[in-house]
Amino acid sequence: MSRTLTIVVLSALLVASALNQLKLRRWERLTGRWDRWAVLPHFAFFAPEPGHAGTHLVLRDRGENGWTGWHEVPLSPRTRWRFVWNPARYERKAVQDLLSGIARDAQEIDDPHALTLTSCYLGLAAWADAQPPAVPGATERQFAVLQTVGHGGDRDLRPAILSRPLRRA
């Protein structure tokens, strides 16, 4: 009896999970009512333009000899064990969410000075400021968000955001 019940429940979950991938409006309304804990998975393996664009956060510091060169903030490297243990995914996801939030806010806010007061911008500024300085005794830090579009030699680099210099404590 319990074996049959287990097979029925797991089969129902398999069918429901498959239906959840199909973007059916009636199915989404139905699952929206009873799947409050997001038990059914939704996979999004392919982007509209996979591998086409990237976002990078770069920093520079002002020391005694002026500004350093720009350098990309290194996020934790991907390891071959990331499928088992990957705490760095939270850092990468948080930075990407902040960058996406800034891009969304930039479309809604006309005043660039007002953009610097949004929670996403302030969160990214705090995260950038928390990174170790490139030179000892740096007094200011500036960050920029760059977007790369394209592949290989055809890749185009576009500045998306350039912060004002931040005073370092």
Burial of residue 22, with CB atoms counted within 10 A of its CB: 0-12 exposed, 13-18 middle, 19 or more buried: exposed
pLDDT for res 49: 45
Q: Has this prediction a pTM greater than 0.85?
A: no
Those residues with Cβ within 8 angstroms of residue 143's Cβ, 6 or more apart along the chain or in another chain: 57, 58, 59, 60, 124, 125, 128, 163, 166
Average pLDDT of the segment spanning 81-94: 70
Helices and strands in the chain: count of H runs, count of E runs: 5, 6
pLDDT of residue 6 exceeding 90, the answer is yes
pLDDT tens-digit series, residues 125-164: 998 888 888 888 899 999 998 887 766 666 778 888 889 8
pLDDT of residue 165 exceeding 70, the answer is yes
pLDDT for res 66: 92
Of the pLDDT bands very low, low, confident and very high (cuts 50, 70, 90), residue 122 is very high
Of the pLDDT bands very low, low, confident and very high (cuts 50, 70, 90), residue 76 is low
Of the pLDDT bands very low, low, confident and very high (cuts 50, 70, 90), residue 86 is low
Residue 54: strand, helix, or coil: strand
Task: Tell me the domain boundaries of the chain.
Answer: 2-34, 53-167
Q: Closest by alpha carbon to 145, among 47, 51, 72?
A: 72
Tokens of 42: 């939704």
